[in-house]
Structure 1
Amino acid sequence: MKFGIAIRNMGPQSNRTTIRTCVRIAEQAGFDALFVSDHLCIPPDQTEGSGGRYLDVLATLAFIAGATEKIRLGVSVLVVPYRPAVLTAKQVATIQELSGERMILGIGVGWMKPEFDALGVEFRRRGAITDETLNVLHHLFGADVPGAYNGKLVKFPSFVFQPRPKRPTIWIGGNGAAAMTRAVKFGDGWHPMLPATELKAKVEELHAGALAAGRAVPEIIVRRGLKLDDTAAARTKVAAEQEAGATYFILDLGRYPDEQSFGKSVETFMAKVAS
C-alpha cells in the first residue's frame, strides 16, 4: 500500500511558511504524494475550521512544486465543473510540466450548491460537465495539435497544446454508480469516501467493470483520519482498509495547528503505523 498525506490549504495554517515546511517534512518522511483540497466560494455558514480562507488548489500545487523535488503532488479532489475545461487542461499541463510530471489529478463533481451558485454553474449539470471535461483532458493530452473538439457542452477548433507533458494520473472521486463508471472509462484510480465495511463489495464491482471494459485494474484510494495516540488501533484500521481493497491511503491529519504538530504526527505515523 502507498501512503499520501493531506496538506492544509485552508484556515490560518494555509500560509507560505507553514505549507512549505509541511510539504518538505512530508517529502523527507517518504510519503508517496501530498494532497490539497478544493473550495472556491465558501458560504458564510460553512466557514467553521477555515474562516472561509481557502487557497486555490492549482495555484497552491504550483507553489508546492517549487518547494519540493520528488514527492508527487495531488488534488483530492478538483471540482472540475467550477472551471472551464480548456483552461483547466492548460493549468494542469503547466503544473505537470514544471513539476517534472509529478501530478495526480483527483476529479469530482462537487456537492456544495452555494459554490455552484456563486460561480454561475448549474448544479444539476455537474455530472455532465465533469464527463465533458474528462473527455477534453484526454483529447488535449493526446496530441501536440489535437483536432477540433465538438462535444455537447464544449466546442473548440484545433490548436497547439504545448507544453504537452505526459497526462497526469487521473483519480475519479465519488461513491455512486456514475463515479464508478467514470473511473472505468476515464480514470487510473477510484477515490471514494466509503467506510471499509462497504468498500470491499464496491471494489469487486469496479474490478469486474474494468475487466469487462478491457481496462487495467484501477488504484483504489481512501482518505482517512487516524487517532495516532493509539497506534495499534491505527494500524488495525489501515489493515482493514487494505483488506477491503484499498491500494492507496491518504492520511488526513485534520486541522493541525502548526508545522510542529504536523511533523510530530508524521513521525508517529511513519514509524509506528506505516512501517
Structure 2
Amino acid sequence: MVQISTPNIQDTVTLDIWYTLIKIYKCIITTKFRLNREKNMELAINVRNWGPTATVEFIRDSVLVADESSMDALWFNDHLCFPPFIADNFYNVPQTMGSIIDPLSLASFIAGITKRIKFGTAVLVLPYREKIVTTKMIASIQQLSNNRFLLGVGPGYLEEEFNALGINLKDRGKITNETLDFLLKASKDSKIISNGQEILLEPKLTLPPIYIGQMAKVAFDRTIRFGRGWMPVSISPEELGPKVIELKKQAKAAGRDKIEIIAMKTLPLDDLESAKKMAIAYKDAGATQLVHTQGYETVDHYCQIIEKLEKYIKPLI
C-alpha cells in the first residue's frame, strides 16, 4: 500500500517564515540601493560652443572625450548675436565670445557622434525661437539621440538680442511660459492646434527633462509648474542651500515630491583640496548634479580637466 505523507505543520510554518524573511531582506537591499543611488550627485562638464573653441574639430574631439569618460552630462549655452558693444560696458562681448554655434544645431551634431553621454542646453533662450519650430527641433534631437537630450531653458536677458528680433524684452516671461506649455502639450498628443490650424507634428515629442535656469523669484514657480528641476548659475553652496530648502517647500505644497537641482560652477582644480570641499558643499546644499564650467585652450587641456574630475571629485560625490 502506498502511503501518502501529510505536510508537517511546523515545517510549513517554518517555510512561510523563511519566505517572509527573504522578502523583507530583498526589500531592505533594494531600498538601501535606491537611497544610496539617490544620494549620489552627478558630475557634468561644459563644452564651449563659442569663441576660439567653436570649430568643428575642437568641438568634435572635446565631445568624444566627454562621451568616453564617466561624466554624466555635457552642457552648452545659447546666444543668437551681439551688438558691437554693450551699452552699460558690462563686458566686451565680441572679443570674448567670438563665433557662436547654435545650441540646437550643436545638439543634433552631438547626437550623431556620441553613444552614451547626456547633453543639453544651459540654457536655451525660449523667446528667441518660434514654439513649433523649437518643438520640432527638440523632437528630432530626441529621436536622433535615443532620448539623451536635456533641456535647460531661460527667458533671456540681453535687450539688444530682443531688439534685433523685434521682441519686447518685457514679454520674455510670457513667451517662455507659452513655449513650455506648448512643449508639454506636444509631448502628449501629436495633433496640435496652432493659430487656429490643426496640424500633426511628427515625430511626436518625447519630452526631455526640463530645467529652469533663472535666478529671479519667478524661477521657482516656473520650475514647479514645468520643470524637473532648477538650474542656477554661479551660485555658491552657501547661497544654494537655503534656496533649495525654500524651493522644495513650495514644491511639496504644490504636490511635487521631487525636484532636481543642477548647480553650475567652476571648481578650483588647481587647488584640489578646495575643489573637493566645494564639490561636497554643493552636494550637502542639495545639488543633484554639479556642472564644472572651466574654460580650456586645447583638447589635451580638456582631457586633463576631465581626468582630474574623474580621479579626485567624482569618487567623493
TM-score, structure 1 as length reference: 0.94
Counterpart residue number, 1:158: 198
* Contiguous gaps of at least 5 residues in structure 1: 150-154
**CA distance in 2: counterparts of 1:101 and 1:265, whole angstroms:** 27
- Once the two structures are superposed, residues 15-66 of structure 1 have per-residue CA deviations (whole angstroms, 9 ceiling, x without a partner) of 1111111111111111111011000112223223222x10000001101111
Which has the bigger relative contact order, CA under 8 A and spacing at least 6? 1
Larger radius of gyration: 2
Q: Distance in 1 between matches of 2:184 and 2:44?
A: 25
2:25 corresponding residue in structure 1? none
| C-alpha deviation, 1:165, in angstroms | 4.3
Q: Which moved more, 1:158-167 or 1:8-17?
A: 158-167
Asked if 1 retains the 8 angstrom alpha-carbon contact of 2:73 and 2:119, the reply is: yes
Q: Out of 50, 67, 70, which is 1:27 matched to?
A: 67
8 Å CA contact 1:170, 1:189 repeated in 2: yes
Contact kept? 1:101, 1:165, Cα under 8 Å: no
Indicate the residue corresponding to 2:97 in structure 1: 50
Q: Aligned equivalents of 1:257 and 1:43: distance in 2?
A: 26
- Pair 1:260 & 2:306 matched: no
Equivalence map 1:26-175=2 (5 Å) = 26-45=66-85, 46-51=93-98, 53-146=99-192, 148=193, 155-175=195-215
Q: Is the 8 A contact 1:253 1:262 kept in 2?
A: no
> How many residues in Structure 1 have an aligned counterpart in Structure 2?
267
Contact conserved, 2:220 with 2:247, CA < 8 A, in 1? yes
* Aligned partner of residue 44 in structure 1, secondary structure: coil
**Contact 1:235–1:274 (CA under 8 A) maintained in structure 2:** no
Task: Indicate if the aligned counterparts of 2:190 and 2:205 stay in contact, CA closer than 8 A.
Answer: no
| Larger deviation, residues 41-50 vs 188-197 | 41-50
Q: What do the CA deviations read for 1:165-201 (whole angstroms, capped 9, x no partner)?
A: 4211100111122111000000001001232221111
CA displacement 1:44-91 (0-9 Å, x = unmatched): 23223222x100000011011111011111000000011111110111
Pairing partner for 1:202 from 230, 235, 243: 243
- Write the distance in 1 (CA, Å) between the matches of 2:63 and 2:196: 38
* Corresponding position of 1:10: 50
Gap change, CA 1:240 and 1:48, over 3 Å in 2? farther
Structure-2 residue corresponding to 1:152: none
Distance 1:228 1:177 in 2: 32
Deviation at 1:243, TM superposition (A): 1.2
- Name 2:228's counterpart in structure 1: 188
Post-superposition, which runs of at least 4 consecutive aligned residues in structure 1 deviate over 6 A?
A: none
Deviations 1:239-271 (A, max 9, x none): 1111111111011112x1111111111111111
Give the Å deviation of 1:121: 1.3
Mapped partners of 1:209, 1:156: distance in 2: 36
Distance in 2 (CA, whole Å) between partners of 1:250 and 1:17 is 23
Q: Which structure has the highest helix share of the two?
A: 2
Q: How far apart, in 1, do the equivalents of 2:66 and 2:136 lie?
A: 27
Paired AA for residue 17 in structure 1: E
Residue 82 of structure 2: SS of its match in structure 1? coil
